[in-house]
Structure formats: structure tokens, C-alpha cells
């Protein structure tokens, strides 16, 4: 039940044994083999998908892959059914109590839009939901990228909640909010007396996230000297507390997020390329709000209901003029800015409808403009990157039939000479 592996069994070996009805029926109908797949864990629910074959030869590695994909989708469907049943049950209770409740004290309607706490039904967001569903059940490292306010933490939470360790707490670390001299202790912990002020042993975030998920937000802000230590943790699956000579094995799934262009940070020497490639196993880019304009009205109504209930003001909607202005706005602060604007408009509203919304003037500085400029690489940089990718693909082999030189259509000696000229050393691959 705790394994993500597919279990194949012979139905003939079960004859004479007490077995559940769902397996007895296929056995009586002449099916030869059964396959059991435990669906990803949902709080309070364990579900197994059984498939039966009359001919075991029809079950291949490809069908195993397809079945596991179907199992993930079924798990999400089962979870949505459970949530829908809970929702309908709550609505039923509310409707029954409505007769004895004054109209002004009616409970707010519950909306069931979006995906695991993420609101939005646009094609761009549906692509994001599909990526979340594909990677959630694995242990792969995920890198979420997107502008500030696009909902990176919500995506990380959705991945964790759909994972096999959803019953455990996800540990969150904001790399930008911790002072540079404390971040190593925060992540890896320290021993008593390791430095001035270390009055007791501290358990770091990686140890706290054992057999669970750690979310490293704003990973692009991590100091360069600490990036090498994080790389070692990702590769070796072990940490070392400050002041200790012993290593501690950790089993932690890493999800990182950034609002920076890490490729540009790597090119300019502010982020290690080896760490970037190690983090970028499964990238999930989040679209800015201006690229999913069809979600603005849905989000606006969601935040309107949320904050009008909190502020205790009866606001029913937006005027058409305000909705048009919201849709046309660029929203540089994305969903977070939209939420703040809606809350502010509720506070200033004098009627049941929001008829005015003041949009701030955005001043673009030269530095902001330069960040969005296309980074032009030299031919040497492009050649170096390409050779490195091919050499890594060949597991460091340069010559021979399985070597990088064959793929690049170069003599082995020529490739070695090029690598020396470009500064490519063994440690790079």
C-alpha cells in the first residue's frame, strides 16, 4: 500500500485462499494475471487500481508507463469526487439551516474553481496543472519560475499535496529573507558551540523535511558560496551541520522557485551552472497575469468574495468599466497586486458594486529595462555550452564509438583541442 511500484500477480496462485470479491470475479471468468497499482495517497483515503489480463504477454513496459499515468489522473479524480461530496454536504447543511438564519447572516457561497487552491481556468494555467499532475508522484526536483506574485508557492503546495508524502508537512524556506550569515545554519543546522551564540544544537530545515518536501523560495538569492553546499546535498543526499564532522543522510524532495532568469544569472557568474542544471530537472514556468487575461475576472471575483466577507461589507461585483480596465491593465505585480487592488477597492466602495479602481503609475527604471533585454551570447559561449551538453550526454566519454566526438562529427584529438581552448575541464562534466 505504501509503494508506488506496480504489483503483478498470478490469479491461479490465489485459488483456495480467502480473497476480496473484486478479485474473485475476474478469477472465475478466466483471467490469468492481475496488476495492482496503489494510487497516490489522499489524506484519509487509500485506493488501489486493479487491472486483469487473460494474456500476460499484453503487459509490457510501455503499458506499465501508461497505466501509471492513468493511475495519477484517477487519483486526482477520486480526490475531486471526495472534495465535491464534502462541498455538497456542506451546502446541504447550509441550506437546511438557512430557514432559521436571518438573511444578512447567510454563509458565503463556496466556489470550487481552479486546481488545488490555484484559481484560473485559462489554457496557460491548464498547462501548468498538467505539469503539476505529471511530476507530483515522483521524487524529481522541480524548479518553478515566474515573475513576482504569480503563485509559485501555491504551485509548490499543490505538488506536495498530490505527492506520496502529502500526509507530512512541507518545509518552506525563503532564501531572500534570511541573513547571509545565518542561512547555512537555517538549512543544515549547527552543533552547540559551533560559533558565538550557538548555545544549543539546532536541527536544520533539511532534517526537518526528512521523508517529505522542502520548498526553497527565491533560490536565485542564495549566496554563491552556499550554492556549492546545496549542490552537494542534492547530489549526495547528505548534510553536515556546522561544527560537526559527521554527515547525516537525508531523504528530501526539493522544490525550488525563483523570479530571476537563472540562465542570465549563470551567464553573469552569480549562480552556479552545475546547481542550475541540478535544480532544473522538471521546470514549471508560470505565466504572468497579462498572458492569462481571461482569468482576471475569475480571480477578481474570488478575491472580492474573500475580502468582502473578511471586511464584512456586502459587495456583489464590479462594474463593466472596472472589469474592462482590470483586463487591460498590465499587472506587473501579477495575482498578488490584483488581490491588493481588490481589497483596497472594497474598503473605498460606497455601493454594492465597485465602480472605480485606481491603478498606480508604473515607473520603469533603466535597470528594470535592462533585466528584460535579450542576452546575446558569443559564438564561443554557444560552442562551449553545446560541447558540454554532448559530453555530459556521453557520460564524459570523448573518443570511441560511444564518445562525444562521433556525435559532433569531429576527430577525437580535434575535440580535445577545442575543449582545452574553451576552458572545458573534467570537473565541468
Domain CATH number, residue 57 = 3.30.450.40
Are residues 195 and 53 both part of a single domain? no
Written as nine digits, the cell of 56 is 500476460
Classify residue 102: in a domain, yes or no.
Answer: no
- Please name the residue that has the C-alpha cell 430557514: 99
Domain end (from 50, 75, 95): 95
Cα gap 184→229, rounded to integer Å: 9
Classify residue 1: in a domain, yes or no.
Answer: yes
* Residue 412 CB neighbour total at 10 angstroms: 14
* Confidence bin at 382 (pLDDT 50/70/90): confident
Is 71 a residue whose pLDDT tops 60? yes
Q: What is the pLDDT of residues 325-380, one digit of tens each?
A: 999 888 999 999 999 999 999 998 888 899 988 887 654 444 444 444 445 567 77
Are residues 338 and 390 both part of a single domain? no
Can you state the angle between helices 320-328 and 296-311, rounded to 10 degrees? 120
Q: Which of 157, 137, 121 is nearest to 74 (CA)?
A: 137
Are residues 62 and 195 both part of a single domain? no
H or E segment and range at residue 334: helix 334-348
Q: What is the pTM of this model?
A: 0.60
Q: Where are the strands (E) in 164-299, listed by range?
A: 171-174, 212-217, 238-239, 248-249, 252-258, 282-285
Are 273 and 266 in contact by the 8 Å Cβ rule? The answer is yes
Are residues 358 and 386 both part of a single domain? no
Classify strands 7-10 and 33-38 as parallel, antiparallel or unpaired: antiparallel
Q: What is the pLDDT of residues 407-424, one digit of tens each?
A: 887 888 888 888 888 888
Cα gap 379→418, rounded to integer Å: 13
Cα gap 135→410, rounded to integer Å: 38
Question: What one-character-per-residue DSSP string does 160-194 give?
Answer: HHTSTTTTSPPEEEETTTS-TTTHHHHHH-B-TTS
Cα gap 216→212, rounded to integer Å: 13
Is 111 a residue whose pLDDT tops 60? no
Domain span at 176: 123-285
**How confident is the model at residue 157, as a pLDDT?**
95
Is 239 a residue whose pLDDT tops 80? yes
Are residues 136 and 212 both part of a single domain? yes
Cα gap 295→274, rounded to integer Å: 37
Q: Which of 10, 63, 6, 81 is nearest to 38 (CA)?
A: 6
199 φ/ψ sector (left φ>0, alpha ψ -120 to 50, else beta): alpha
Are residues 196 and 268 both part of a single domain? yes
Cα gap 126→130, rounded to integer Å: 6
Cα gap 153→368, rounded to integer Å: 24
Q: What is the pLDDT of residues 16-54, one digit of tens each?
A: 777 777 787 887 787 878 888 777 666 666 777 888 887
Q: How many domains does the chain have?
A: 4
Written as nine digits, the cell of 311 is 471586511
Amino acid at each position: 500500500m505504501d509503494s508506488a511500484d506496480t504489483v503483478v500477480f498470478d490469479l491461479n496462485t490465489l485459488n483456495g485462499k480467502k480473497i476480496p470479491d473484486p478479485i474473485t470475479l475476474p478469477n472465475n471468468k478466466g483471467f490469468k494475471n492481475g496488476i495492482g497499482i496503489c494510487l497516490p495517497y489522499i489524506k484519509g483515503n487509500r485506493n488501489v487500481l486493479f487491472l486483469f489480463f487473460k494474456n500476460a504477454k499484453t503487459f509490457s513496459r510501455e503499458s506499465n508507463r501508461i497505466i501509471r499515468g492513468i493511475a495519477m489522473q484517477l487519483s486526482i479524480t477520486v480526490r475531486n469526487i471526495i472534495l465535491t461530496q464534502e462541498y455538497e454536504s456542506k451546502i446541504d447543511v447550509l441550506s437546511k439551516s438557512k430557514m432559521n438564519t436571518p438573511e444578512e447572516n447567510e454563509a458565503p457561497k463556496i466556489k470550487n474553481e481552479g486546481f488545488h487552491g490555484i484559481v484560473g481556468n485559462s489554457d496557460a494555467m491548464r498547462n501548468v496543472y498538467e505539469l503539476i499532475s505529471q511530476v507530483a508522484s515522483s521524487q524529481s526536483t522541480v524548479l518553478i519560475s515566474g515573475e513576482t506574485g504569480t503563485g509559485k508557492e501555491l504551485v509548490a503546495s499543490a505538488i506536495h499535496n498530490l505527492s506520496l508524502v502529502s500526509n507530512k508537512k512541507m518545509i518552506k524556506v525563503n532564501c531572500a529573507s534570511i541573513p547571509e550569515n545565518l542561512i547555512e545554519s537555517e538549512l543544515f543546522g549547527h552543533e552547540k558551540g559551533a560559533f558565538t551564540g550557538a548555545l544549543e544544537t539546532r536541527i536544520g530545515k533539511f532534517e526537518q523535511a526528512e521523508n517529505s518536501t522542502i520548498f526553497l523560495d527565491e533560490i536565485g538569492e542564495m549566496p554563491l558560496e552556499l550554492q556549492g553546499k546545496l549542490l552537494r546535498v542534492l547530489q549526495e543526499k547528505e548534510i553536515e551541520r556546522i561544527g560537526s564532522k559527521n554527515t547525516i543522510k537525508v531523504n528530501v524532495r526539493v522544490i525550488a522557485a525563483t523570479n530571476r532568469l537563472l540562465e542570465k544569472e549563470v551567464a553573469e557568474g552569480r549562480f552556479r551552472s552545475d546547481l542550475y542544471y541540478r535544480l532544473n530537472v522538471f521546470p514549471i514556468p508560470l505565466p504572468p497575469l497579462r498572458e492569462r487575461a481571461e482569468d482576471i475576472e475569475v480571480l477578481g471575483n474570488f478575491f472580492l468574495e474573500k475580502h468582502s466577507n473578511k471586511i464584512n461589507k456586502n459587495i456583489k461585483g464590479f462594474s463593466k468599466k472596472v472589469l474592462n480596465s482590470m483586463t487591460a491593465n498590465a499587472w506587473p505585480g501579477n495575482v498578488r497586486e490584483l488581490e491588493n487592488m481588490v481589497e483596497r477597492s472594497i474598503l473605498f466602495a460606497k455601493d454594492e458594486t465597485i465602480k472605480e479602481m485606481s491603478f498606480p503609475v508604473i515607473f520603469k527604471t533603466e535597470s528594470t529595462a535592462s533585466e528584460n533585454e535579450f542576452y546575446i551570447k558569443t559564438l564561443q559561449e554557444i560552442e562551449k555550452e553545446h560541447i558540454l551538453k554532448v559530453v555530459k550526454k556521453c557520460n564524459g566519454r570523448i573518443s570511441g564509438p560511444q564518445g562525444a566526438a562521433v556525435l559532433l562529427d569531429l576527430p577525437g584529438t580535434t575535440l580535445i583541442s577545442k575543449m582545452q581552448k574553451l576552458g572545458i575541464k573534467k570537473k565541468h562534466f
